[in-house]
Amino acid sequence: MSTTGVFLVRTPNRPAAVIVLAAGSGTRMKSKRSKVLHPLCGRTMIGHVLSAATAVDPRQVVAVVGHGREEVGPHILEEVPDAVLAVQETQEGTGHAVAVALEALRGSGGTPSGTVVVTMGDTPLLQGETLADLVADHETTGRAVTILTGELPDPYGYGRVVRDADGAVLEVVEEREADAVQAAIREINSGIYAFDGDFLADAVTRITNQNSKGEYYLTDVVGIARSAGVAVGAYLTGDILQTEGANDRSQLAALGARLNARTLDRWMRAGVTVVDPTTTWIDVTVSLEPDATILPGVQLLGATVVGEDAVVGPDSTLKDVEVGAGAKVVRTHGELAVIGAGAAVGPFSYLRPGTVLGTGGKIGTFVETKNAQIADGAKVPHLSYVGDAEIGEGANVGAGTIFANYDGVAKHRTTVGRHAKTGSNNTFIAPVAIGDGAVTGGGTVVREDVPPGALAVSAGPQRTIEDWVARNRPGTAAADAASQASARGAATEGSG
């Protein structure tokens, strides 16, 4: 079982399998993308579910795919490479989907003997700890069926869990099948179960489709279990939001907001300062160290890492960026970049993939970098484009500098040596190298290598043409101003 990036939650025994149902079409999303592939907070919906599933360390994960399986299947295998894919050619209900999953499990050499967990592919708030608690409750009570349930003030749309006077589970009644008394029940079926695998394998063959939808309901297994005289129970979770699904984009956004709020709360309790949670978005895949500070308007995405005492924001978006301890990042967009400890970035900087800024370095205002290695203590403070470059330790790049890396056919690289000082408004025509300790003059276009310690200039002597404005632009405001300034200068000379 591949568990990369997943914290394992130990259960008394490894479940035989976790079955993830992901064959539905999700038509209410009104999207060419399968519902379970819609992303929120750093993972797809099914990616969140698979993370929870692998956290309980099952012997096998089985995913049931149908609509959009050409995209859904490969994505599942990216997340869990040894998962078994079961294809439900026609969607005939959850009972039918589980039967297809068990057949695929056996076909792969697996066995349902042991605990089998069944969950849905569109419940992105689900946590591994909740599945572990469900499995532990199921196994310690020795039941054949355990339903994960919760209570809602308004249970409309959910299957109701019907109990007897002693609290034992009698049945699960779907919304459309419920009478008035059953519809008033607030305990609902989450659609997540733990089964004795051998019992489940037999029970799914006994389900019928004699209902208003003509489908095979997995919930019918409860009645089959009671008829067989085996134990059926429920594990009531206090966090029913973990089991909530998203059927349209409005619900998806609401779940994303809830998941983000939970993520921020977790980080704040771990010692991270989040100044304004209402404007801060942090993916579940991000890692933060204590005493990091996140200012308003920040999005931290993907595999971003923020070190201790670093300050990010305000108004910054970082995706797959490493921010070193004590660094400061202000009003910056960055992707696939590394910012060293104590470095400063921004405001209004754009760090493109391949940017590496060393310890104590600086990428300043209105600077764009791409595939650029900027060493410790080196600075690119203002109004520059640095592409395909290597800038040595302690070097300073003047304002308005352009690293001209593209000749129309291929990209080329520029090297600026250690402690070099380049002038403002320079253009480096790559490939070119400025040596250690070298200097370039303001406005220089560097087309040839500059030796260490040398000064390179390309501009000719300044030429000044007196009274050009008066002759060429008479009657303009500029001509009048020049005339008045000349008069004042003549008066000053006369009085002296």
The pLDDT tens digits of the residues spanning 20-37 come to: 999 988 899 999 999 999
Residue 160 has pLDDT above 80, yes or no: yes
Site of tokens 């080196």: 378
Average pLDDT over residues 289-302: 98
pLDDT of residue 7: 43
167 versus 349: which is more confidently predicted? 349
pLDDT of residue 495: 67
Q: How confident is the model at residue 165 (pLDDT cuts 50, 70, 90)?
A: confident
3-state secondary structure of 26: coil
Percent of the chain with pLDDT over 70: 97
pLDDT of residue 490: 78
Domain 273-456: give its CATH architecture: 3 Solenoid (2.160)
Average pLDDT over residues 372-398: 98
333 contact partners, CB below 8 Å, separation of at least 6: 316, 317, 318, 349, 350, 351
pLDDT of residue 9: 52
C-alpha distances out from residue 369 to 320, 379, 385, 443, Å: 16, 12, 6, 20
Q: Where are the domains of the chain?
A: 17-243, 273-456
Element (H, E) at 362: strand 362-365
Q: Which tens digits make up the pLDDT trace of 228-271?
A: 999 999 999 999 999 999 999 999 999 999 999 999 999 999 99
284 contact partners, CB below 8 Å, separation of at least 6: 41, 42, 43, 48, 259, 263
3-state secondary structure of 398: coil
Backbone angles phi and psi of 456, in degrees to 5:
-115, 130
Residue 493 has pLDDT above 80, yes or no: no
CATH 3.90.550.10 assigned to domain 17-243? The reply is yes
Q: Which tens digits make up the pLDDT trace of 412-426?
A: 999 999 999 999 999
Q: What is the pTM of this model?
A: 0.89
Residue 1 has pLDDT above 70, yes or no: no
Pair type for strands 281-282 and 187-196: unpaired
Positions marked active-site: 382
- Cβ atoms of residues 381 and 366 within 8 Å: no
Q: Which tens digits make up the pLDDT trace of 34-81?
A: 999 999 999 999 999 999 999 999 999 999 999 999 999 999 999 999
CA 166 to chain centre: 46
For the chain, the average pLDDT equals 94
Q: Which tens digits make up the pLDDT trace of 100-135?
A: 999 999 999 988 999 999 999 999 999 999 999 999
C-alpha distances out from residue 367 to 210, 268, 362, 424, Å: 67, 32, 10, 14
Angle between helices 45-55 and 128-141 (to 10 degrees): 40
Residue 84 has pLDDT above 70, yes or no: yes
